[in-house]
Amino acid sequence: MSIQISLAAIDQADSIAEVLHRAFLEYEPLYTPEGFAATTPSAEKIQARWSEGPVWVAMQEGVIVGTVAAVSKGDSLYIRSMAIVPSVRGLGTGRLMLEHVEAYARKNNFRRMFLSTTPFLERAIKLYERFGFKRIDQGPHELFGTPLFTMEMTL
């Protein structure tokens, strides 16, 4: 079953919110309630992101199974809300999404990409490291009491 990555349409915000919730639900006990709420925003909050930067979706047989968004921060591109539903993890979806984000970053002359993640998202951290991201000391170091660290990749 192949995965296709494309720019999301604003009317897909409900499905994107559902993907985020499904992807992070198993980790909910490791987040503070406020941290989990920030990680799994409502469709209305997701719709507001269209004015902040691109949002992509990963589709499998017409169903959204993953998402990632990005925001310009000067000469850097901040990656946020990357999520893949558990049923398609391990199929290369995360790498495909990162490749699309990197292509966008290079096309738009960003000098680096960066993201924040929690130490308990071990599979995601391994993916980021394999892709070329390295941990840095830059914050933020927490999200409403949930620990975070930042990773970057120079382009």
Domains of the chain, earliest start first: 4-154 (3.40.630.30)
* 43-50 contacts at long range (C-beta below 8 A, 24 or more positions apart): 43/13, 43/14, 43/16, 43/17, 44/13, 46/13, 46/16, 46/17, 46/20, 46/81, 47/10, 47/13, 50/10
Identify the pLDDT of residue 1.
Answer: 62
pTM of the model: 0.94
Helices (H) and strands (E) in the chain, counts: 5, 9
- 8 Å CB contact between 70 and 112: no
Radius of gyration of the chain measured on its C-alpha atoms: 14
From first to last of its 155 residues, what are the pLDDT tens digits of the chain?
A: 699 999 999 999 999 999 999 999 999 999 999 999 999 999 999 999 999 999 999 999 999 999 999 999 999 999 999 999 999 998 999 999 999 999 999 999 999 999 999 999 999 999 999 999 999 998 889 899 999 999 999 99
